[in-house]
Amino acid sequence: MRLVLLGAPGAGKGTQAKLLGEQFHVPHVSSGDLLRDAVRKQTPLGQQAKDYMDRGQLVPDDVLVGAIEERLRGRECSQGFILDGFPRTIAQAEALERMLGKIGCPIDAVISFVVPASALVDRLGGRRTCVSCGALYHTAYNPPAVAGKCDRCDGELFQRDDDKEETIRARLQVYERQTAPLLDWYRDVGTLIEVEGLGERQSVFGEIVNKLGAVA
């Protein structure tokens, strides 16, 4: 199973990608995680990406495409993948199509999550991340047992720069301007599946699986 997940920041792509990866036994490939890992390790890629990420802007294609291609060509992705956060523009979608065409692995379906902007700001603004293990929490919906501490490893929780309200709104503007046109592109290709992303995670997951079964 090879899937692309589309949706504005905070739409639930990461949560559903993990569930879908477990369901279909394929890896969750997050472009954001790839880039944040590079930033933490202070690699040349990470240094290039950091300034863009801190401002809520898209990382340039020449930085991102190479990282994605290297990951998808790995042995772990040979039987499929759940691609989260890439592509974000039509140019990236065309690059992905060329990339997968070389290895004979076309996309099976593109899942688009529909969530109101007000809910996205609320979701992201309350998100907290463990500095040690990367576990995610939310001040309202998924708080830790002890405020500011990770339940798993007791690490400190922090708010990522790209989860602050000013940056969130910038990210949403970027999405609407550059990523939303992908919906029409994939609709024309015939691989787009739209789902309501505002419900409970299991109900959203169930809708995705049902719709995938209908087009399989």
Domain harbouring 42, CATH code: 3.40.50.300
Q: Is residue 123 part of a domain?
A: no
165 lies in a domain? Answer: no
The Cα–Cα gap between 63 and 97 comes to: 17
Residue 140 included in any domain: no
Residues that are catalytic: 13, 88, 127, 160, 171
101-105: Cβ within 8 A, 24+ apart: 103/72, 103/73, 105/2, 105/72
* Residue 139 located in a structural domain: no
Task: Flag whether 216 is in a domain.
Answer: no
Q: Cβ distance 84 to 94 under 8 Å?
A: no
Residue 30, domain member (yes or no): yes
Model-wide pTM > 0.85 = no
For residue 21, the model assigns a pLDDT of 93
Give the range of the structural domain holding residue 104, as residue numbers without chain letter: 2-115+172-210
Phi-psi region of 74 (alpha: psi -120 to 50; beta: other; left: phi over 0): beta
Residue 117, classed as helix, strand or coil, is helix
Tell me whether residue 138 is in a domain: no
- Rg of the chain in Å (alpha carbons): 17
Task: Tell me how far apart the alpha carbons of residues 89 and 182 are, in angstroms, rounded to a whole number.
Answer: 6
Q: Examine residue 145 and state whether it is found in any structural domain, yes or no.
A: no
Domain count, the chain: 1
Nearest to 14 by CA among 135, 176, 107, 145: 135
What is the predicted pLDDT for the residue at 105? 85
pLDDT (tens digit, 9 = 90+) per residue, 65-109? 877 887 888 888 888 999 998 898 898 999 999 989 888 888 999
Rounded mean pLDDT for each run of 10 residues along the chain, 216 residues in total = 91 90 92 82 82 79 80 87 89 91 89 90 90 92 94 95 87 85 92 91 94 76
